[in-house]
């Protein structure tokens, strides 16, 4: 890094972190602060500002507070008290935010249920919430009804719009008071009280319920507000699902803590994104990396640069997409961050270096808790030395990112998962740099360069070993997705006969016809032999979570067996040097070791 580049980066870090810490200050100074109290301050300061915009309709802060209060009184009318849980299974709309913030005012915990879940994952999520009541939008009644027989307890269903077989929540709310709940109930809720359960995405297993104390939720809401220099004039466009931390907590907080406007969209639409952002005069938007890739793949539109957006905040924006996205749509600042719902590690890329998730120079390292340790991909465990301690990774060496757990500092705590102490313990790494210390395992592989930039490489489990080398599914997927005609590339490792490690396989969705001969030439030219996908699976659509993360569990289970899927599977034939359609007979030959792979 050149001298002036370093000065610019250091200044951007100092300014951004100073703002973030300033926004975080009330959490440090006021132990009795809660989500409800913080939001009520905003309401009192900006009662007539527009709090929420949704499908052309507006809700002022005064109206928002009244609706949230009605939810609090509804909970009290049901006999709910501080610490009890309500499950929220509702698609994006203003009532989603009014509901959980209203319940938080009196200490009732809300489980934010993923609206994409069905079947066993949905029943599992509802069961571990132990909620006595479930609040739904009418469009989720079918999903609930399908799992009703599998619920270990039968929560009472309340449907916002009213529906057969459930209580009419909308009608009940109309009978509730709209003034704030009794002061004694609100004052009893503090930072140390549980506010939410936010569920992990379940890309590699059943969702886990991350315990979100008021302190943690406020931290997520306030840190981004500070880092992004938010204020009451901002209009924050959220198209991500509200059950997810990035949109539902960070985006909501950016608007509602500052007195700005939260613009909610029912569901992300690449076709309508720029037009709506322009018409609503949005100034800030929240993204997941795949959202930006979808937008880059849309045809040019007059709205591409007609908007008023000054800032995009999110994570997972790949360098190749970043370098197209930022100039095409004329976004003045991209604020990429790293963090997880339940974790104690967070980073901000405050100087806008494409591909980086943050920078931690030596002068800042003592203030942050992140380290990268050497990692064994085969055992999926950190490497330890002769003394049984972990070893810090070298520059540009890929290892697991970990965060020191410190119960004395709010930012560095780890509350764990509800009802599952084994899953909580799995995330704690003990005796790391000295006997007795504890660090949070992010489960993410990263590297740090000599300029102190951190880069996300892959999730642990998404990196596999083949021919004695580690292969990052994320990096290979990035390469494959750049070939013309490849819309999406989901890369994973599959077992082949009794060979060591796992061979690469890619599930592809295509935009028209792709010449596989040219594609193979491209792969050979761009990737080392060990990283090239040995198998391809052509899918009409790639299955993702509600936040656009690829699902891989079933793909890995089905592997390259053509009898387990109607999708076409292609094999990089080692003798013919081309991709050939894999038949059941050829599959048997591969498994019998008849090919030199």
Task: Give the whole-angstrom CA distance, residue 520 versus residue 526.
Answer: 10
Share of the chain above pLDDT 70, in %: 97
CB-based burial of residue 103 (10 Å sphere; 0-12 exposed, 13-18 middle, 19+ buried)?
buried
Q: Which residues of 40-70 are buried (b: 16+ CB within 10 A; e: fewer)?
A: bebbeebeebbbbbbeeeebbbebbbbbbbb
Q: Which of 214-218, 460-464, 584-588 has the lowest mean pLDDT?
A: 460-464
Q: Could you report the per-residue pLDDT of 354-367, keeping only the tens digit for each?
A: 999 999 999 999 88
Q: Which of 66-70, 259-263, 341-345 has the lowest mean pLDDT?
A: 341-345
Q: Which of 239-253, 323-337, 517-531 has the lowest mean pLDDT?
A: 517-531
pLDDT band at 407 (very low <50, low <70, confident <90, very high): confident
Strand, coil or helix: 4: helix
pLDDT band at 547 (very low <50, low <70, confident <90, very high): low
pLDDT band at 234 (very low <50, low <70, confident <90, very high): very high
**Could you tell me where the DSSP H helices lie in 289-340?**
289-296, 319-328
Q: Yes or no: say if 246 and 288 are a contact pair by the CB < 8 Å rule.
A: yes
pLDDT band at 2 (very low <50, low <70, confident <90, very high): confident
Share of the chain above pLDDT 90, in %: 73
Mean pLDDT of 529-533: 90
The answer, yes or no, to whether residue 564 has pLDDT greater than 90, is yes
Task: Give the whole-angstrom CA distance, residue 218 versus residue 223.
Answer: 8
DSSP classification of residue 390: B
Question: What is the predicted pLDDT for the residue at 569?
Answer: 97
- What is the tally of helices (H) and strands (E) in the chain? 19, 29
The closest of 578, 572, 570 to 596, measured between CA atoms, is 572
Distances from the Cα of 13 to the Cαs of 8, 64, 343, 350, 361, in angstroms? 9, 35, 22, 6, 10
Task: Assign a CATH topology to domain 3-359.
Answer: Rossmann fold (3.40.50)
Question: What is the predicted pLDDT for the residue at 205?
Answer: 52
Length of the chain: 597
Both tokens assigned to 595: 């090919």
Both tokens assigned to 335: 């604020």
Both tokens assigned to 587: 């599959």
Mean pLDDT of 3-28: 91
The angle subtended at Cα 315 by Cα 310 and Cα 320, nearest 5°, is 85
Strand, coil or helix: 456: strand
Out of 3.40.50.300, 3.30.300.30, 1.20.1250.20, 3.50.50.60, the CATH code matching 464-591 is 3.30.300.30
Q: Could you report the per-residue pLDDT of 154-191, keeping only the tens digit for each?
A: 899 999 998 888 999 999 999 999 999 999 999 999 99
Distances from the Cα of 195 to the Cαs of 10, 103, 502, in angstroms? 36, 9, 42
Task: Give the whole-angstrom CA distance, residue 498 versus residue 314.
Answer: 42
Mean pLDDT of 331-344: 92
Question: What is the predicted pLDDT for the residue at 372?
Answer: 97
The angle subtended at Cα 105 by Cα 100 and Cα 110, nearest 5°, is 30
Task: Give the whole-angstrom CA distance, residue 2 versus residue 4.
Answer: 6
Mean pLDDT of 50-57: 98
Q: Please give the span between the terminal C-alpha atoms of the chain, in angstroms, as a whole number.
A: 42
The answer, yes or no, to whether residue 6 has pLDDT greater than 80, is yes
pLDDT band at 206 (very low <50, low <70, confident <90, very high): low
Question: What is the predicted pLDDT for the residue at 303?
Answer: 96
The answer, yes or no, to whether residue 239 has pLDDT greater than 60, is yes
The answer, yes or no, to whether residue 429 has pLDDT greater than 50, is yes
Question: What is the predicted pLDDT for the residue at 203?
Answer: 47
Q: How far is CA 298 from the centre of its chain?
A: 23
pLDDT band at 320 (very low <50, low <70, confident <90, very high): confident
CATH of domain 363-461: 2.30.38.10
Strand, coil or helix: 186: helix
Residue 536's beta-bridge partner residues?
506, 570
Domain layout of the chain by residue ranges: 3-359, 363-461, 464-591
């Amino acid at each position: 890094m050149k001298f002036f580049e370093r000065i610019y980066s250091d200044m951007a870090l100092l300014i951004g972190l100073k703002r973030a810490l300033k926004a975080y200050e009330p959490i440090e100074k006021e132990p009795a602060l809660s989500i409800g109290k913080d939001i009520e301050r905003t309401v009192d300061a900006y009662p007539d500002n527009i709090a929420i915009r949704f499908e052309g309709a507006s809700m002022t802060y005064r109206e928002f507070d009244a609706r949230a209060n009605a939810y609090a009184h509804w909970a009290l009318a049901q006999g709910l008290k501080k610490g009890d849980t309500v499950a929220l299974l509702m698609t994006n709309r203003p009532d989603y935010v009014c509901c959980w913030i209203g319940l938080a005012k009196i200490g009732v915990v809300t489980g934010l249920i993923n609206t994409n879940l069905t079947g066993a994952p949905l029943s599992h999520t509802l069961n571990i919430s132990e909620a006595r009541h479930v609040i739904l939008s009418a469009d989720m009644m079918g999903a609930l009804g399908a799992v009703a027989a599998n619920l270990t307890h039968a929560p009472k269903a309340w449907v916002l719009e009213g529906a057969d077989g459930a209580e009419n929540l909308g009608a009940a709310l109309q009978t509730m008071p709209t003034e704030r709940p009794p002061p004694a109930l609100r004052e009893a809720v503090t930072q140390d009280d549980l506010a939410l359960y936010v569920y992990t995405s379940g890309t590699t297993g059943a969702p886990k319920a991350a315990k979100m104390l008021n302190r943690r939720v406020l931290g997520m809401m306030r840190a981004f507000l500070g880092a992004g220099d938010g204020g009451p004039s901002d209009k924050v466009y959220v198209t991500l699902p509200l059950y997810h931390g990035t949109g539902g907590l960070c985006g909501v907080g950016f608007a509602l803590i500052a007195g700005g406007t939260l613009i909610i969209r029912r569901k992300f639409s690449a076709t309508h994104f720029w037009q709506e952002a322009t018409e609503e005069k949005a100034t800030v938007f929240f993204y997941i990396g795949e959202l930006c890739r979808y937008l880059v793949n849309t045809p040019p539109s007059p709205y591409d640069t007609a908007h008023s957006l000054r800032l995009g905040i999110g994570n997972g924006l790949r360098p190749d997409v970043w370098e197209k996205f930022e100039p095409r749509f004329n976004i003045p600042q991209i604020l990429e961050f790293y963090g997880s719902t339940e974790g104690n590690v967070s980073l901000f890329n405050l100087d806008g270096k494409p591909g980086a998730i943050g920078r931690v120079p030596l002068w800042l390292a003592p203030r942050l808790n992140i380290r990268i340790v050497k990692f064994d991909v085969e055992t999926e465990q950190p490497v330890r030395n002769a003394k049984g301690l972990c070893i810090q990774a070298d520059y540009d060496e890929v290892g697991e990112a970990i965060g020191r757990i410190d119960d004395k500092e709010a930012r560095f705590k780890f509350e764990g998962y509800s009802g599952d102490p084994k899953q909580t313990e799995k995330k704690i790494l003990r005796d790391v740099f000295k006997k007795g210390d504890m660090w949070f395992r992010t489960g993410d592989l990263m590297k740090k360069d000599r300029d102190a930039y951190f880069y996300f490489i892959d999730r642990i489990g998404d990196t596999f070993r083949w021919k004695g080398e580690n292969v990052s599914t994320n990096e290979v997927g990035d390469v494959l997705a750049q070939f013309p005609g490849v819309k999406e590339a989901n890369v994973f490792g599959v077992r082949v006969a009794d060979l060591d490690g796992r061979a690469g396989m890619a599930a592809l969705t295509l935009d028209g016809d792709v010449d596989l001969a040219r594609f193979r030439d491209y792969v050979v030219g761009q990737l080392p032999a060990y990283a090239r996908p040995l198998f391809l699976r052509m899918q009409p659509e790639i299955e993702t979570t509600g936040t656009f993360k690829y699902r891989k569990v079933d793909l890995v289970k089905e592997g390259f067996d053509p009898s387990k899927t109607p999708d076409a599977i292609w094999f990089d034939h080692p003798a013919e040097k081309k991709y050939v359609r894999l038949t059941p007979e050829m599959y048997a030959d591969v498994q019998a070791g008849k090919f030199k792979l």
